[in-house]
Structure 1
Amino acid sequence: MSVAGRITGIAVGAVAAAALGGAAVATATVNRRRREIEHREPEVSEDRADVAAAGTPLGSLRAPTRTIFTTDGVPLHVEVDEVDDVAEVGPARGVDGGGGTAAILGTAAEVPVTLVFAHGYALTLDCWHFQRAAYRGLVRSVYYDQRSHGRSGRSDAAHSTIDQLGEDLLSVLDAVVPDGPVVLVGHSMGGMTIIALAERHPELFAPLADGGRIVGAALISTTAGGLDVGRILLPLAPAHLGGTIATGAVRTLGRGHRAVDGVRRFGHSIATVATDAYAFGKQVPAEYVEFVDGMLSATPFQVVADFFPTFGALDKFDRIGALARVPTTIICGTADRLTSIGHARKLAASVPGSRLVECPDAGHMVIMECHAQVNAALDHLLAAVTDADPGGGDG
């Protein structure tokens, strides 16, 4: 085995030991936790997203594909759910299963906005499964894979930055929503993407009544800076590294990325258990864990290494004033172990007039774990943007 492979194997064990309480019992504990995850019962829910997605495998919702090019020539995979082009949803179209969308939004024609969703680090547009199921047939919605993620083209390391992602988002808007109005929704790195756009192009943010192009924003499980970068690695990288050494170690492992990818695939049980521990706060169905783990493990480690330094450099809390011009909702699980609830509270304090929604005991993948509460918060945001009556809100 190569040096990189040996380092990676040791690091995989470190993740297991850190997540599960000691190297001596790691193997037995991993196996036990893996079996426990596999035997979890599926969720039973009447929420509209669950009703709409019933019988639909996670991540399988699709729309006609568009390819747009960024300012540096990277092709981005974009899908647009048009209001009148969702026949595959069948009878679930327009269902109101308790979140209140039908009551709040009325017919699609009464909602002139387009929702644009930006996903997080080492995920793909498929992570928005429950939001996509809920809004199909009601609101025009745009989903895209960030550069080097999913079905989009690979970036060089120099352009693997949060600021470049902000420019990529603008390229998506120019291509598919050139005139607005738009409500942006970002999870984790996707929230940072919106923050970068707000810093670099504040003139785009203005209320709908003032003819604004970006008329609202939702920042989910994200931050504008001050991250403990070592935490970011835990669910997706084969190393347990403190923030002070993480960047250098990831860069070193990145040079041996093919060996790292091989070990990540080999250590599937460990990866699944780590995903369960660090991506979710409560016990969730096994299919959720496998789905997220699949996205994480499919992301080449070289991509992980290319983007990693940008998180430590992120420092934009004093540069997000544009978000105060439009209705902004900040959502986070109180048990998020990657971008903790403290980041969400600081964001809310930094954006006057914003609305903070805390999801009790939920982890980083709150968009799946508490999708009903997240969708209800987005309903409330759309109502605020369009001056509709939000009714009961999201609690």
Structure 2
Amino acid sequence: MGSRNRRRIGIAGAVAGVGAAGVGAAVGLRHLAVGRVRLRPDPDAGEPFGELRGRELTVEADDGLPLHVEVDGADDAPLTVVFCHGYTLNQDSWHYQRRDLRGLRTVFWDQRSHGRSGRGKPTHATIGQTGEDLYAVLRATARPGEPVILVGHSMGGMSIMALAGRHPELFGDQVAGVALINTSCGDLAEMTLGLPLVLAKLVRPLAPRTLRGLGRRADLVDRARGLGADLAFVVTRRMAFADKHVSPTVVDFLEQMIRATPIDVIAEFYPALAAHDEAASLDVVGKVPVLVVAGGQDRLTPASHGRRIAGALPDAELIEVDEAGHVLPLEYPGVVTGGLRRLAERVRPGYEEERSA
């Protein structure tokens, strides 16, 4: 792997699993989690989640769809970092990185049909299209030749790989670095969602049909989702996080983002994620330094997918957080932010001093 630097971060303590003991137990667990907020300090309880805003910009995608974009930092900053969020989320999922990164110009955008971007056509709910959307965002927010780092979580990482496959000329020229977090270059049809392999093989074929059916009853389903907040909290905690000490406030914040994404949008994008295959684009991504971050307990894009990506790149730093799930930017924000600072220093040594001069 050449100069790849592998890091593994272990967090002391066992990870408590959540058993499938029925809805009653799930609701009880949710009440227990909320009770812990009252019994011990929650350092995240006062975080202004969803309130950090930048200079707003509307970018038109190649099919005319309006994409919601926000920019932080000075336009003459020596480096721009563009953040691409994951499936069912929005740009607010980068809360801690937006709060903590200094000396950089940062760009955040909502993927089509997510957050405050426009509602796309169902036939345009593809990873290839999100790559073209990212291209439009880049053209609108970064000057030609200006160094840019692309950061993608989950589906956002796939969007970056799709961009590389369709616009390889950008990498090594304008795109000077890439960070891929909790993502995959393909073979997601084989994911088990943490289920035993035999059971997972039975469930996988049902998921697309089930989601399509729910999508056709979107209004009814979305109303029901609002009524099932207790159960949704527990499912979100189980599927997205692995750290048993994760703040209930953070879990609530993530669950609210997911619930704000219409069920028909979830249904439309699911087949694209399952069929996603951008392994061939890694040759292009590998032209620049890359940070790969994976969660050892990630049920959606397992750590093996991150290892596969890093193993195919000549200059990658792999960080694997053993006791982390699928949403590392919220679960272990310091690990992600620290990795991005190191990547920025690799791409443009002395950028912090240059910015503060």
User: TM-score range, shorter-chain basis?
Assistant: 0.7 to 0.9
1:357-368 map, 5 Å:
357-368=319-330
Alpha-carbon distance in structure 2 between the residues aligned to 1:386 and 1:121: 30
Task: Supply the AA of the counterpart residue of 2:293.
Answer: I
Is the aligned partner of 1:282 residue 2:247? no
1:325 counterpart SS class: coil
Give the CA deviation at 1:230. Answer: 7.1
1:257-276 map, 5 Å:
257-276=218-237
User: 2:194–2:299: 8 Å Cα contact kept in structure 1?
Assistant: no
Alpha-carbon distance in structure 2 between the residues aligned to 1:59 and 1:42: 21
User: 1:233–1:241: 8 Å Cα contact kept in structure 2?
Assistant: no
Give the CA deviation at 1:352. Answer: 2.0
Q: Name 2:300's counterpart in structure 1.
A: 338
- What are the superposed Cα offsets for residues 348-382 of structure 1, whole Å, 9 maximum, x if unpaired? 11222211011120111111111111111111100
- Higher mean alpha-carbon deviation, 272-281 vs 346-355, is at 346-355
Number of equivalences:
326
Give the CA deviation at 1:76. Answer: 0.7
For residue 35 of structure 1, the aligned residue among 28, 31, 34 is 31
Alpha carbons of structure 1 residues 145 and 241: separation in structure 2 relative to 1, 3 Å: farther
- Higher mean alpha-carbon deviation, 75-84 vs 279-288, is at 75-84
- What are the superposed Cα offsets for residues 39-63 of structure 1, whole Å, 9 maximum, x if unpaired? 244455xxxxx8xxx9541121111
- What are the superposed Cα offsets for residues 186-213 of structure 1, whole Å, 9 maximum, x if unpaired? 000000000100111111000xxxxx20
Q: Name 2:69's counterpart in structure 1.
A: 78
Q: Name 2:111's counterpart in structure 1.
A: 146
Task: Supply the AA of the counterpart residue of 1:151.
Answer: R
Task: Supply the AA of the counterpart residue of 1:316.
Answer: E
1:347 counterpart SS class: helix
Q: Name 1:181's counterpart in structure 2.
A: 147
Q: Name 2:88's counterpart in structure 1.
A: 122
- Higher mean alpha-carbon deviation, 265-274 vs 31-40, is at 31-40
Larger RCO (alpha carbons 8 Å, 6+ apart): 2
Alpha-carbon distance in structure 2 between the residues aligned to 1:233 and 1:174: 39
Q: Name 1:252's counterpart in structure 2.
A: 213
- Higher mean alpha-carbon deviation, 307-316 vs 212-221, is at 307-316
For residue 301 of structure 1, the aligned residue among 228, 240, 263 is 263
For residue 131 of structure 1, the aligned residue among 86, 93, 97 is 97
Q: Pairwise CA RMSD of aligned residues?
A: 2.3
Give the CA deviation at 1:113. Answer: 1.1
2:205 counterpart SS class: helix
User: 1:42–1:286: 8 Å Cα contact kept in structure 2?
Assistant: no
Between structures 1 and 2, the one with greater helix share:
1
Alpha-carbon distance in structure 1 between the residues aligned to 2:30 and 2:96: 25
User: 2:165–2:280: 8 Å Cα contact kept in structure 1?
Assistant: no
Is the aligned partner of 1:202 residue 2:164? no
If the length of structure 1 is used for normalisation, what is the TM-score? 0.78
Alpha-carbon distance in structure 2 between the residues aligned to 1:116 and 1:268: 32
1:186 counterpart SS class: strand
Alpha carbons of structure 1 residues 68 and 229: separation in structure 2 relative to 1, 3 Å: farther
Q: Name 1:12's counterpart in structure 2.
A: none
Alpha-carbon distance in structure 2 between the residues aligned to 1:62 and 1:389: 24
1:294 counterpart SS class: helix
1:231-246 map, 5 Å:
242-246=203-207
Alpha-carbon distance in structure 2 between the residues aligned to 1:130 and 1:291: 13
User: 2:90–2:111: 8 Å Cα contact kept in structure 1?
Assistant: yes
2:230 counterpart SS class: helix
Alpha carbons of structure 1 residues 331 and 216: separation in structure 2 relative to 1, 3 Å: same
Q: Name 1:209's counterpart in structure 2.
A: none
Is the aligned partner of 1:227 residue 2:188? yes
Alpha-carbon distance in structure 2 between the residues aligned to 1:279 and 1:311: 17
User: 2:189–2:275: 8 Å Cα contact kept in structure 1?
Assistant: no
Alpha-carbon distance in structure 2 between the residues aligned to 1:151 and 1:241: 36
Q: Name 2:137's counterpart in structure 1.
A: 172
Give the CA deviation at 1:253. Answer: 1.8
Identity across aligned pairs (percent)? 41
1:215 counterpart SS class: strand
Give the CA deviation at 1:267. Answer: 1.1
- What are the superposed Cα offsets for residues 208-240 of structure 1, whole Å, 9 maximum, x if unpaired? xxxx20000000000010114776799xxxxx9
Alpha-carbon distance in structure 1 between the residues aligned to 2:194 and 2:70: 29
Is the aligned partner of 1:324 residue 2:286? yes
Alpha-carbon distance in structure 2 between the residues aligned to 1:275 and 1:229: 21
Alpha-carbon distance in structure 2 between the residues aligned to 1:319 and 1:82: 31
Give the CA deviation at 1:29. Answer: 1.2
Unaligned runs of 5+ in 2: 1-16, 196-200, 353-357
Runs of 4+ residues deviating >6 angstroms:
none
Give the CA deviation at 1:175. Answer: 0.6
1:348-363 map, 5 Å:
348-363=310-325
Alpha-carbon distance in structure 2 between the residues aligned to 1:192 and 1:368: 19
Alpha carbons of structure 1 residues 176 and 232: separation in structure 2 relative to 1, 3 Å: farther
